[in-house]
Structure 1
Amino acid sequence: MSDRDDPVTIGHRVQQLRVARGLTQKQLAEPAYTPAYVSTLESGRVRPSDDALRHLAERLGVAFEELTTGRPAHLVTGLRLRLTEAQRTHATGEAEEAAQQYTALLAEAEAHDLVEVQATALLGLGECGLDTGELTAARRYFERAERALAEAPLPARVPALRGRAVSHYLAGELRYAVYLLESTLDELNRGGLHDPDALLLLYTGVIGPYMDMGAHARAAQAAEFALALAPQSGDPALVARMHRSVARTLIAEGRVAEADASLAKAAELYRQLQLRTELANCHWMRGYVSAQNGELERAEGELRKALTMLTARRAALYSSQVAVELADVLHRLGRSEEAAGLLRQVLSDLSPERGALHSAAAHRLLGIIAEDARDTEAAEEHYVRALSLLERAGAAGDLADLCRMLGDLLRRTGRVEAALDAYRTGLGHRTAPGTTTLGPAPAQPPV
């Protein structure tokens, strides 16, 4: 629906308000218009001009916006103020409380057909779902946001697309997540739609799937692009709080347009705050690269920085992913007990339905630690549990590697036939069609 209702709806609304106030058509029309004009308008046979509607609104004692749209005065501004409150709540890590605020806002926006507010509330609910691990619900919210923004330019739809891709990724659907993110990146870059915020969301979103699929060079390049695109802000939370306070003052003074502008600035800063999760992924990527290069102390520093940023946002699934990488570095530094404790904490926070890939990675590393300690029984148990989780997620590359590790363990303990079965299973995963290659890399951004 447009911002202004059709003539029939407006005419009916004028008639209802006039009758409720006990006015005749002549009293409503005077002094600028005739009773016949008001009659024609009320019957819906004429599209009134803005001047006529302002005259009628003044005579009826309502706001121009309420007369033309049926929405109470300042409704949109009030909803935007509450949206920034919900974004503030979410940015400070209170995902469940923020979800309640977004749900109430969504219901009101739907009742008044405010598509922009609906889309923002749906995006917020999706992000809250990612933080709390409710992946199916999160994906559905992002899909609804995409539908609400179907007529908007691609950069405006990117947060919903990225959210949907991340929900698939965290559920273990790696290749589909990469397809969504890479195809959107291609469409933006090849179409000249170089929106830095949209590109930043997509490049940071694709790092995790690349890493889990073994596409480390692409992950490193995506992290490089993301860090180059990252917006700079000294203290966005403080500035956002200032803008919210200013907006309240302006609303009280009736300066609605200025209040809206102030709220828009606050909303943008809260959106930047939510990018902390994405930027934490870049620190994780740096830590991983340092670990591969044998720079373990530097890797530990980067990974701890990422983990601190993610834990502050209570992003359980993301922080679990980084915790597993950190545990690997700690184990390689000779601090295996500390690593095992970190991994056990990861497993206590997850379930097979929430974070299967991260749980599998934790069991795999616990198996390695157990093997190093010559506890082959515990090692085998961890490897088998990791295999079960990876089979459910369809992570073929990781499955092949884990089958090799299990086969080696079984062979060393004298169970040759069982080892051969494990090796054959691993070879089957390694040659599964469509699981070992990616298509061409996305077009590069102008950074």
Structure 2
Amino acid sequence: MNLADTGFVIIASTLVWFMTPGLAFFYGGLVSKRNVINTMLSVFYITGIAILLWVAVGYELSLNGDLFGVIGQVHHFFLSDLSLGAVTTAKIPTGVYVLFQMMFAIITPALFVGAVVGRMHFKFLTCFIVLWSLLVYYPLVHLIWSPHGLLAGLGVLDFAGGTVIHINAGITALTLSAFLGRRTDEHITPYNRPWVLLGTAILWIGWYGFNAGSALGVNQAAMTAALTTSVGAAAALVTWMCLDIWQTGHPTLIGTCTGALCGLVGITPATGYVTSFGAACIGVAATLTSYWFISKIKPRLGIDDTLDAFGCHGVAGIVGSILTGVFASKQVAPDIAHAGLAYGGGWQLLLIQLVGTAIVIVLVGAMVSLITVVLKQFVSIRVSPAAEKMGLDYSEHDEPVDETVAASWARGTYVSQNPDEFKGQLHGFDPQPRRENR
């Protein structure tokens, strides 16, 4: 066991987990004041579900054993009798590797929550996350990150989760949005813009654990990943800010933060394989494509992805995965089989990345559709129009985000604004017709 590498991966695991509350602040700042608690809780409570599922069967199904190159085998339920102290090929204990991969199982479903906030039943979301983890996430991890996986055998490169995490979460977000339908009111006033900046900063910090930690040691790949993560995010941030100025005449906080996030997503699959120049190109391309999709294509689709989970994670993830086939360099990563198109490797890696990306998109879209169609027969997927108008903080949790909102509930603001919704409750207080004395 290498103590330095082991300590590094434990720290990286902590940083990846730190991204989950960061995402809660990022999403919580973007939604209306009626849905802040529901949004932040929907992100954060996944921590509990994902950890229990991962140690019960998730690690085994993802990375232990093999069935047809698609899924693993459960031999150690809840890690029982698994030799956690055994040293892996990366010279870290198996238990530390289990811990690191566990954090990805937490953050991935949290990402698609942004697409469904404000209108999905909490109960449906919970059941969906369990089924999605078992039927979508674990098989995808095995396909790409297990040495026995079919896509790994094909030669698909994904250093830190462009396909496994971001394309996966993005396609899930898009598919769920299509099933849910549009919101009754799509005009959102963000609750707290400083929270968006705070969440972005936490996510960026955590992303060093996400990307550099995927090297599983203190080595050149970790150094490259940390550097290219910084460059990709910076290039994307500046690009989105320039686009905002060009389109609206002024830079915006939310736009700048969104740009940084797109860059972080875009560089993730390529981060350990590309030069700084390649990282900058990927960051710029990810932002340009995401900005174009969100502003031009999304309005024409008629699919209401509330916080653009697909527009950021799905689109930027697809761009990053494909461009890995262009900018991957054997000088940076000597162990890869083929260099990218821009570095003398020809078309082979680009074609592999295109095929792998397409397979992930189709597989995730089909499985999420199947899960949703079956699950909605047993659990209601969408809250009532009245509950949506009141906000899910009230209807699902009866917990206000702050005292101002609580006071509005106490004063009956929702009752006065939406009298038809409370007609049954208020009916007993209706003025009664005067009776004549006889």
TM range (shorter): under 0.3
Q: Give the alignment's TM-score, normalised by structure 2.
A: 0.25
Higher relative contact order (CA 8 A, sep 6+): 2
Which is higher, the Rg of structure 1 or of structure 2? 1
Q: Which has the higher helix share?
A: 1
